[in-house]
A and B are shown apart, each in its own frame.
Chain A
Amino acid sequence: MATVNDALNEKRTQRDKTLSELNDIDRDYKYGFHDPEDKYVFKSGKGLTEEIVRKISAMKNEPEWMLDFRLRALKLFNDKPMPQWGSEMLNDIDFNNIHYYVRSSEKQERNWDDVPEDIRKTFDRLGIPEAEQKFLAGVTAQYESEVVYHSIREDLEKLGVIFTDMDSGLREYPEIVKKYMGTVIPSGDNKFSALNTAVWSGGSFIYVPKGVKVEIPLQAYFRINTENMGQFERTLIIADEGSSVHYIEGCTAPTYSTDSLHSAVVELIAMDGAKIRYTTIQNWSNNVYNLVTKRAIAHANATVEWVDGNLGSKLTMKYPAVWLKGEGARGEILSIAWAGKGQHQDAGAKIMHLAPNTSSVVTSKSISKDGGRTSYRGLIKVLPGCHGVKSNVRCDALLMDAHSRSDTYPTMQIDEDNVRVEHEATVSKISDEQLFYLMSRGLSDEEARLMIVNGFIEEFTKELPMEYSVELNKLIQLEMEGSIG
């Protein structure tokens, strides 16, 4: 009798656990599921050693110079102290408790049917193949450390557009990769760029030839599945003279009780008159440290736009940068940050005006709720002799309650007189009067708040392809609902 009872109790406990897990996923974060790992090809032990770096390089059959590049970076990573600014949460990262390289499948596919079933199902759930069919010109899907699926439309390939994962890029175009990798962001730029350089895997490599305009966006999707995983993708985009390209990246991970680390390095180069737009919708689960270095170089009359949305992660530290190197270059950084319970979004922008008549616009919108914290950290630098520079920075913060927090740390270093630099920052709450106005039209308190929040970030959402702005509004709605009661 006792055994039957025990078995029943155990079943009940298991059922309750499953139900509560399902509940958590439904309410807070719909991408929090994870797949089995029994078919994985390789998973490095925890911790970072020279052996692991050598192993990664060997498994990838890399040239000697790349191994040297990695090993030098490893030394820089070990030598550099942890940054003492940004967030105290940084000190909680346990570098010895992370898997630095996890290969989930043998090779990369060009057809979704050939991707291992579990992984394919995951990307199905994330809606990637569907989006690809509807409105994308190419897709890269990275799962753990490696890209598992990749495709590009034939017409673009015929025009000479290269869109591939970074590892294939290194194999197939070693001279371009060797020439440019690490030139925008040197390995030793910061502790995390050094870490990325030492253990990088995956990411995108894009080259757009002179004058070619890629009208339809290219997309990469990054998925972490393993607990205590470190994902270190490396992206390099080169837009040759007069060309243009729009690249979109999205990311999610399962919800685990312990932390994972995502530390990417993204380098963009816009040659004379070229235009690059780089859009990110970051929606990592709330156990991911997201410490990313993103920087672009814009040559004469080139335009670089970072459209950067941060909704997920435990801690994000990310300051997309544009170095305006050629006369007439233009940089724009448009970002939103959402920080809910336990989250800190330390995001911002860096613009370096290195040539005359360059211009920049920075627009940052942040929302803090349920004790979440957002910070804007920005730098505008104008070198001597860079006359005719125009820069406009605007930071708007919306606080949803009294115990959430928002800070602004703007830095301006202007070493030239003949410039026009404007900075404006606001912190607001949802006003009773706005709420009353909307409610007097029949909207509930919740609906009214959601409408105000969506309005607050509309400058951002209107820049996204329609499908993404719809998705973003849904995510915001989930976040608002998830924290009520």
Chain B
Amino acid sequence: MSQQPALHIRDLHVTVGEKEILKGVDLVIQAGEKHALMGPNGSGKSTLSYALMGHPNYKITQGEVLFQGENLLEMGPDERARKGLFLAFQYPMVIPGVKVFQFLRNMLKARRGRDVSVKEFRKELNEKMSLLDMKQEFVRRYLNEGFSGGEKKRHEILQMALLEPSLCLLDETDSGLDIDALRIVCDGINAVAAKNTDMGMLIITHYQRMLNYIEPDFVHILFEGKIVKSGTKELALELEAHGYELIENEFRQPAQV
């Protein structure tokens, strides 16, 4: 299994409604690698994460995706999750009346394919919550209801810490966070990564600032539905210095006459 890349995307085309958003994405993430995906608004970053997780409204029209050597696109979102794919949502959904505790425990049962006793669960939960500097009362709240931006993101990472996925997609996890919250969340992500050294990661972000905390092995720039440039962490610094204008000037498709 470990010889297989965690994720292998080949010529992926994705349509939402009538519109083609991804126009041939190629990307390989090996086990244990951290990749950053950057790009201006509307370039298709979130589309990639939703399509990989299997949102029914994101239609794959071409290409293939292998997850640990298996055809990811044949699986429903729940099966993808149980096999170890994880998406930290940019906008996690509110589910009224569902307690965080109950949600997390059911999630863990599904991932492990067996019952997780309350005692066993509490122990793990406490451990992971202290990692993210979260208070006990948190799990008695309703799922994402009235959560601040920081609480939502911390909760997403708490799920990641519990599930111990083999590949994480972090969709703008830095958005809506102040400096302190960003540091806590990134420390949490690093701690999970340190414990699970085989875990691959795709960090989707607009900004360099998150990459100051989580150092990527590779940086890719998505522009108008394609990865137009790949490099190492210096590429992110370059982008930060010059803005996306540079990319736009270089790669903007001339309007068809």
Whether A441 is near chain B, meaning CB under 8 Å from some CB there, is yes
Q: In the assembled complex, how far is the CB of residue B52 from the closest CB belonging to chain A, in whole angstroms? A: 10
Interface segment out of the listed A280-288, A322-330, A406-414, A456-464: A456-464
Interface flags for B71-84 (1: CB within 8 Å of A; 0: not) read 00000111011100
Q: How far is the CA of A451 from the CA of B106 in the complex (A)?
A: 9
User: Which residues of B line the A interface, CB within 8 A?
Assistant: 53-57, 76-78, 80-82, 86-87, 89, 92-93, 95-99, 102-103, 106-107, 110-111, 142-143, 159, 163
Residues of chain B within 8 A (CB-CB) of A437 are: 89, 92-93, 95
Interface segment out of the listed A144-152, A267-275, A428-436: A428-436
Query: Is chain A's interface secondary structure helix, strand, loop, or mixed overall?
Result: helix
Residues of chain A within 8 A (CB-CB) of B99 are: 458
Residues of chain A within 8 A (CB-CB) of B110 are: 441-444, 447
Tell me which of A444, A451, A452 has the highest count of chain B C-beta atoms within 10 A of its own C-beta: A451
Asked if residues B95 and A442 are in contact (CB atoms below 8 Å), the reply is no
Residues of chain B within 8 A (CB-CB) of A456 are: 96-97
Q: Which 5 A-B pairs have the closest CB atoms?
A: A455-B97, A458-B97, A442-B110, A455-B98, A442-B81
Q: In the assembled complex, how far is the CB of residue B7 from the closest CB belonging to chain A, in whole angstroms? A: 16
Query: Is chain B's interface secondary structure helix, strand, loop, or mixed overall?
Result: mixed
* CB contact under 8 A between A447 and B106, given known A440-B87, A455-B97: yes
Tell me which of A433, A440, A447 has the highest count of chain B C-beta atoms within 10 A of its own C-beta: A440
Q: How far is the CA of A334 from the CA of B76 in the complex (A)?
A: 38
Q: In the assembled complex, how far is the CB of residue A425 from the closest CB belonging to chain B, in whole angstroms? A: 16
Q: In the assembled complex, how far is the CB of residue B116 from the closest CB belonging to chain A, in whole angstroms? A: 12
Q: How far is the CA of A223 from the CA of B77 in the complex (A)?
A: 45
Q: How far is the CA of A440 from the CA of B80 in the complex (A)?
A: 7
Residues of chain A within 8 A (CB-CB) of B56 are: 432, 436
Asked if residues A439 and B142 are in contact (CB atoms below 8 Å), the reply is no
Cross-chain pairs A/B with CB under 8 angstroms, 15 sampled:
A434-B95, A436-B77, A437-B92, A439-B54, A439-B81, A440-B89, A442-B82, A442-B111, A443-B106, A443-B107, A447-B106, A456-B96, A458-B96, A458-B98, A458-B99
Residues of chain B within 8 A (CB-CB) of A448 are: 78
Residues of chain A within 8 A (CB-CB) of B76 are: 439, 445
Across the interface, A451 reaches (CB within 8 A) one of B78, B92, B103, namely: B103
Asked if residues B78 and A454 are in contact (CB atoms below 8 Å), the reply is no
- Who on chain B is nearest to A437 by CB? B93
Asked if residues A455 and B95 are in contact (CB atoms below 8 Å), the reply is yes
Residues of chain B within 8 A (CB-CB) of A442 are: 78, 81-82, 107, 110-111, 163
Asked if residues B81 and A452 are in contact (CB atoms below 8 Å), the reply is no
Residues of chain A within 8 A (CB-CB) of B93 are: 431, 433-434, 436-437
Asked if residues A438 and B97 are in contact (CB atoms below 8 Å), the reply is no
Asked if residues A440 and B77 are in contact (CB atoms below 8 Å), the reply is yes
Q: In the assembled complex, how far is the CB of residue B87 from the closest CB belonging to chain A, in whole angstroms? A: 6
Asked if residues B97 and A457 are in contact (CB atoms below 8 Å), the reply is yes
Asked if residues B77 and A439 are in contact (CB atoms below 8 Å), the reply is yes
Across the interface, B78 reaches (CB within 8 A) one of A432, A433, A439, A455, namely: A439
